[in-house]
Amino acid sequence: MDTALDIEQPDALRRYLQETGRVPATARVRCTPLAGGVSNRTVRVAWDGGPAWVIKQALPRLRVKDDWFADPRRVHREALGLRWLGRLAPPGHLPGFVFEDETHHLLAMEAVPEPHENWKSRLLTGRLDAAHVRQFAALLATLHRRSHEQAAATAAAFEDRSFFETLRLEPYYRFAAHRQPAAAPVLEDLMAETLATRLTVVHGDYSPKNILVYQERLILLDHEVIHFGDPAFDLGFALTHLLSKAHHLAAHRAAFLAAASDFWRTYGATVGPELLTPALEARAVRHVLGCLLARVDGRSPLEYLTEPERARQRAVVIGCLASPPARIAELVTEFGQRLEA
């Protein structure tokens, strides 16, 4: 079998699926490439009388402007995450695991039925549903709480943080620190603190782009940087997307700022007092600021921000870093005020 399989080549993928016995030899297989990700080839596969799958293949070089290389074996970390999160999450929020192939670095999962919509695309049109925001927060809080309750097992399963370091800390915080020396001391301290904190499973890519909306339920995707660590990173990563959209979509700014506050309240009400501490909130504030800066000066800037918006977000964050608030509510208010200044 060809070890250089490229799943974006339909004939090669059909041949692979049939030769491995995963698809009947006589089936008429339809292969549809899916857009959106920078780190994987992703193809939807279906055939008459059979299930629909999504197959992912990790790329050794990510599809971004700056050179960004990563071990394609990370797709097997995603497979592990998919199996575990299916047990930790409430029913119906994860696609089912189908198979993985360590030779070709493939992961196959059940396709989310049509019609569905990518939540990021929906948000960028200004369609912000408060019920979705609360669902987004409650799902994350549930994953954090349940993984903390099963800490012995989840810590052992997700001990390795190498993909998180190469795909998050280095390209987001360290790269941004290199570009913005004024922020470097804060970002270096934040990275050290993050690596020293181990409390829950951390998704590491908890973003609207990794959410599909199906029958008003949020379906979570893309788990390749999952690890056992600091839940504050997930909070910062998630809130960054709501606040950056508040910045970009000026006509909907008040609604997105309110959504960020609602996200935090819902998370706190769901995660429980053992995890919801002042220290967690203070770290989450710093991660919000770190991610807001990384999404303009890291290796993967938010593509929807214009150059003037990137400059404004950079200035707002650096201003906040001089004396960051201790509370999320205060940060949301200050971020909104500085945008309007």
pLDDT tens track for 115-161: 999 999 999 999 999 999 999 999 999 999 999 999 999 999 999 99
Total of domains in the chain? 2
Q: Report the mean per-residue pLDDT for the chain.
A: 93
Q: Are residues 142 and 33 in the same domain?
A: no
Return the residue matching tokens 């609604």. 255
**Is the previous residue joined to 95 through a cis bond, with omega within 30 degrees of 0?**
no
Q: Are residues 78 and 167 in the same domain?
A: no
- % of the chain with per-residue pLDDT over 70: 95
Q: Are residues 318 and 255 in the same domain?
A: yes
Q: Are residues 96 and 143 in the same domain?
A: no
Which residues are within 8 A (CB) of 194 and not within 5 positions of it... i.e. 6 or more apart? 169, 229, 230, 232, 233, 287
201 is a domain residue: yes
Q: Are residues 333 and 255 in the same domain?
A: yes
Domain that holds residue 62: 10-110
> What's 312's domain CATH number?
3.90.1200.10
Closest CA to 158 of 60, 78, 99: 78
- pLDDT at residue 1 in the model: 34
- Residues pairing with 219 in the sheet: 212
Last residue of a domain, one of 110, 130, 163: 110
Residue 44 has pLDDT above 60, yes or no: yes
Per residue in 73-99, pLDDT (tens digit) is 888 999 999 999 999 999 999 999 999
Residue 341 has pLDDT above 90, yes or no: no
The phi-psi region of residue 22 (left if phi > 0; otherwise alpha if psi is between -120 and 50; otherwise beta) is alpha
2 is a domain residue: no
- pLDDT at residue 2 in the model: 40
Q: Are 88 and 201 in contact (CB under 8 A)?
A: yes
- % of the chain with per-residue pLDDT over 90: 86
3 is a domain residue: no
How confident is residue 321, by pLDDT bands cut at 50, 70 and 90? very high
Work out the burial of residue 270: count CB atoms within 10 Å of its CB; fewer than 13 is exposed, 13-18 middle, 19 or more buried. Answer: middle
pLDDT higher at 40 or 141? 141
- pLDDT at residue 68 in the model: 58
Q: Are residues 195 and 68 in the same domain?
A: no
Q: Are residues 37 and 136 in the same domain?
A: no
pTM (global) more than 0.75: yes
1 is a domain residue: no
Per residue in 218-268, pLDDT (tens digit) is 999 999 899 999 999 999 999 999 999 999 999 999 999 999 999 999 999
Mean pLDDT over residues 323-336, rounded? 97
Last residue of a domain, one of 78, 110, 142: 110
Q: Are residues 65 and 18 in the same domain?
A: yes
Q: Are 46 and 111 in contact (CB under 8 A)?
A: yes
How confident is residue 210, by pLDDT bands cut at 50, 70 and 90? very high
- pLDDT at residue 69 in the model: 56
Q: Are residues 17 and 162 in the same domain?
A: no
> What's 79's domain CATH number?
3.30.200.20
Q: Are residues 170 and 268 in the same domain?
A: yes
